C-alpha cells in the first residue's frame, strides 16, 4: 500500500473548494471527498510491523490545534506535462511546525524524504492539452478565492489505491492535535 500523511479537510471547506470547478476541457476534477493537504509522502509499504511502528510514532507528535485558510488558486505543469490546478494554503507557522515534526519523526524511522520545498496546496484537478489562455482565464476568474479560517484538529495517515478514474484514499489512522 502507498502511504502519505496529510490533513483531511472539513466538509464545508471541501464544498467551498468544489465551487472552483470550471469549464476547462480535458480536465479531470478531483472528487471533493478526496481533497486533502499532503504533508509528507511515504510511498509503498509492505511491512505491517513497520506500519504499527509508524502509527505509534506519529501518535507521539504533540502540536496544538491551529487555524488555516485556503486562498488563491494556481497551476503548474508536472514532469509528464500534465496540468495541475490547485488552491494554496495561506502562510502558517503552525502548519510548518507540524510538517517539521512529522518529517523529524519519519527521519527517526529511516524513511527518506525528497528534498524539495514544501508548497502547501490542495490539488483540485489534472488534465492535458490546455493552452496558456485557458489556464490564465481560469486563474483570473478565481484568483480572489478564499475560505473562512478553519481549525485543524488532526492530521491523518492515508493509504492510496489507484483506480481507473482517480486514486482512492483511506484514512488508516488519525492523530488529534492538542
Residue length of the chain: 178
Q: What is the pTM of this model?
A: 0.92
Q: Determine whether 121 is an active site residue.
A: yes
Give the span between the Cα atoms of 143 and 110, in whole angstroms: 40
Give every CB contact of residue 104 below 8 A, 6+ residues apart in sequence: none
Can you give the pLDDT of all 178 residues of the chain as single tens digits?
899 999 999 999 999 999 998 778 778 899 999 999 999 999 988 888 888 999 999 999 999 999 999 999 999 987 776 889 999 999 999 999 999 999 999 999 998 877 788 999 999 998 888 888 999 999 999 999 999 999 999 999 999 987 777 778 999 999 999 8
State the cell numbers at 77.
505543469
Q: Determine whether 75 is an active site residue.
A: no
Exactly one of 16, 104, 121, 168 is catalytic; name it. Answer: 121
pLDDT of residue 49: 86
Give the span between the Cα atoms of 43 and 57, in whole angstroms: 17
Exactly one of 16, 36, 75, 168 is catalytic; name it. Answer: 36
Domains of the chain with bracketed CATH: 2-176 (3.90.1140.10)
Q: With left for phi above 0 and alpha for psi between -120 and 50, is residue 72 left, alpha or beta?
A: left
- By C-alpha distance, which of 125, 167, 118, 127 is closest to 142? 125
- By C-alpha distance, which of 166, 39, 46 is closest to 113? 39
Amino acid at each position: 500500500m502507498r502511504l502519505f500523511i496529510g490533513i483531511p479537510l472539513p466538509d464545508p471547506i471541501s464544498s467551498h473548494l468544489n465551487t472552483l470547478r470550471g469549464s476547462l476541457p480535458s480536465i479531470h476534477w478531483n472528487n471533493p471527498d478526496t481533497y486533502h493537504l499532503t504533508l509528507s509522502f511515504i510511498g509503498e509499504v509492505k511491512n505491517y510491523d513497520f506500519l504499527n511502528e509508524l502509527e505509534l510514532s506519529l501518535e507521539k507528535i504533540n502540536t496544538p490545534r491551529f487555524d488555516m485558510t485556503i486562498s488563491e488558486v494556481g497551476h503548474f505543469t508536472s514532469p509528464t506535462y500534465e496540468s495541475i490546478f490547485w488552491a494554496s494554503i495561506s502562510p502558517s507557522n503552525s502548519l510548518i511546525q507540524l510538517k517539521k515534526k512529522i518529517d523529524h519523526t519519519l527521519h527517526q524511522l529511516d524513511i527518506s524524504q525528497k528534498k524539495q520545498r514544501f508548497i502547501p496546496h490542495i490539488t483540485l484537478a489534472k488534465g492535458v492539452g490546455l493552452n496558456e489562455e485557458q489556464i490564465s482565464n481560469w486563474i483570473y476568474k478565481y484568483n480572489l478565492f478564499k475560505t473562512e479560517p478553519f481549525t485543524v484538529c488532526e492530521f491523518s495517515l492515508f493509504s492510496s489505491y489507484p483506480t481507473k478514474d482517480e486514486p482512492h484514499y483511506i484514512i488508516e489512522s488519525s492523530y488529534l492535535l492538542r
